[in-house]
Amino acid sequence: MSTASLWFLIAGGIFVLMALSGTLLKRLPLSTSLVYLAIGFGLGPAGAGLLHLDPLTQAGPLERIAEVAVLISLFASGLKLRAVFGAKRWALPVRLAVVSMAITVGLIALVGVVGLGLGLGAAVLLGAILAPTDPVLASDVQLDHPHDRDHLRFALTGEAGLNDGTAFPFVMLGLGLLGLHDLGAGGWRWLTIDVLWAGIGGLGIGWLLGTVVGRIVLYLRAHHREALGLDDFLTLGLIALAYGAALSLSAYGFLAVFAAGLALRQCEMRATGDRKVDDAKPAAGDAEAAVDQQRAPAILARAVLEFDEQLERIAEVALVVMLGAMLATVDLASAAWWFPPLLLVVIRPLAVLVGLAGARSTPLQRGLTCWFGIRGIGSIYYLMYAVGHGLDPATARQLIDLTLITVATSIVAHGISVTPLMGRYRGLSEA
């Protein structure tokens, strides 16, 4: 049997298995990511030996794959957040993505220097890699639908969308301290370009493109009965435009893509307001619904989100299976097994409690926010990005081991706990 035919069989088997078992998994205390991780580990060198991936020597391809997965998920996160930007509901995710993020980076860096023997630059870089929560693997704790008004799910969705961009300045700071990035005299370049311009510019570029493209499509549909269908092309096109434009102007593309999704949702909100307009997909031949000024914005937003979520599931399969295979490269003898629990049950809760001090949330919501700091594909991307920027092999190997162990631990711990905890939370919220 050829290698190509074997991989078609494996890929087909995984997709069919997940399609057949999807309903069952929803009833069990398991996330799909946990299943994918086990499959990847079984396919890797520690199992059948069919999938060999070394993040140290294959950082480039792995970075690109993780990059695409994160972009798809960030766009979906933006589309899910149906609230006027700047409203009170945004206070929690912004505080989590800025204040709690910075505290997390600082605490991880401190542990890295004191407990892991890392230099300051490597410790800051480790903090930046592991501080962001994950937009890809956190779908089980995110908003169920655009009209979901729950504060916990809104906060976790917004945090995951924002902090994959707000982590970038710390990545560049860590690389700069290692001599792999120009910080400027006294850090002026890092502060003005990497922090201020790249962040604000990324959000502005994405918002502008999302708004312009959304308005053009809706205008053409409502007034000229044009630009109908092919919403999948629109999704991919807007993601690529926002990301490419931001990178070409030295801004953060992750923030641009997230903002583009937000802006497209805002176009729908401006047209429909708080009304729950029927956004069901028009039946075949029903062109009137797609061009109706009342329904068209909601139909567009729903079609784009549904396609993006399908891509997100495929990307999740690919990346988590790869992660499972890469676990075989971890040096188990020297691995700091105490570090992931410290991050998940001490550092994350402490950062959240400080970041949300005085915020309007219930003790249960704060507790679940502390726990559901899911680490995943975003951390893999930042790790590969750093390795590709010339880390020395010893430092790279240590960061790889710590990151892979932490992400795998998060997938297992959160994968087992998400169904019972969120089910209990929904029950209490609806009571």
**Residue 413: predicted pLDDT:** 93
Of residues 76, 53, 74, the one with CA closest to residue 63: 53
> Buried (b) or exposed (e) across 367-394, using 16+ Cβ within 10 A?
bbbbbbbbbbbbbbbbbbbbbebebeee
Structure tokens at 180: 């792999």
Q: How confident is the model at residue 246 (pLDDT cuts 50, 70, 90)?
A: very high
Q: What mean pLDDT do residues 34-57 have?
A: 91
Are the C-beta atoms of 261 and 210 separated by less than 8 Å? yes
Per the structure, the complete domain to which residue 184 belongs is given by 31-430
User: What pLDDT shows up at residue 324?
Assistant: 95
CA 397 to chain centre: 24
Instruction: Answer yes or no: is 1 within a domain.
Output: no
Residue 128 covered by a domain: yes
In this model, does residue 420 exceed pLDDT 90?
A: no
Q: How many residues does the chain have?
A: 431
Residue 46 in contact with residue 327, Cβ under 8 Å?
yes
* Alpha carbon separation from 238 to 112, 114, 256, 257, 306 (Å, rounded): 39, 44, 10, 8, 15
Q: Report the C-alpha gap between 238 and 301 in whole angstroms.
A: 13
Q: 178 with 125: CB under 8 angstroms?
A: yes
Q: Are 384 and 63 in contact (CB under 8 A)?
A: yes
Given a cut of 50, whether residue 284 has pLDDT beyond it is no
Task: Give the C-alpha distances (Å, rounded to integers) separating 179 from 56, 73, 102, 103, 300.
Answer: 19, 32, 22, 24, 47
Burial class (CB in 10 A: 0-12, 13-18, 19+), 190: buried
CB 397 within 8 A of CB 116: no
Lowest mean pLDDT among 103-117, 246-260, 409-423: 409-423
- Kindly state whether residue 72 falls inside one of the protein's structural domains: yes
Q: Is 9 contained in some domain?
A: no
Pick the closest to residue 380 from 79, 129, 50 (CA basis).
Answer: 129
In this predicted model, what pLDDT tens digit does every residue of 176-191 receive, in sequence order? 999 999 999 999 999 9
Give me the pLDDT at residue 143, please.
Answer: 79
Q: What is the pLDDT of residues 390-413, one digit of tens each?
A: 999 999 999 999 999 999 999 999
Domain annotation covers residue 23: no
Residue 116 forms part of a structural domain: yes
Report d(CA 184, CA 91) in Å as an integer: 32
Report d(CA 407, CA 135) in Å as an integer: 13
Q: Which residues of 216-250 are buried (b: 16+ CB within 10 A; e: fewer)?
A: ebbeebbeeeebeeebeebbbebbebbbebbeeee
Q: Is residue 152 part of a domain?
A: yes
User: For residue 329, what is the domain's CATH number?
Assistant: 1.20.1530.20
Q: Which residue has the tokens 């031949």?
A: 285
**Would you state the pLDDT for residue 335?**
77
CA distance 270 to 298: 11
8: in domain: no
Which band of pLDDT confidence, cut at 50, 70 and 90, is reported for residue 285? very low
Verdict on whether the full-model pTM lies above 0.75? yes
Model confidence pLDDT, tens digit, residues 253-271: 999 999 999 999 998 888 7
Closest residue by Cα to residue 385 from 204, 200, 201, 170 = 170
Domain count, the chain: 1
Residue 291 has pLDDT above 70, yes or no: no
Q: What is the pLDDT, as a whole number, of residue 119? A: 96
Among 238, 243, 261, smallest CA distance to 253 is for: 243
Q: What is the pLDDT of residues 343-374, one digit of tens each?
A: 999 999 999 999 999 888 889 999 999 999 99
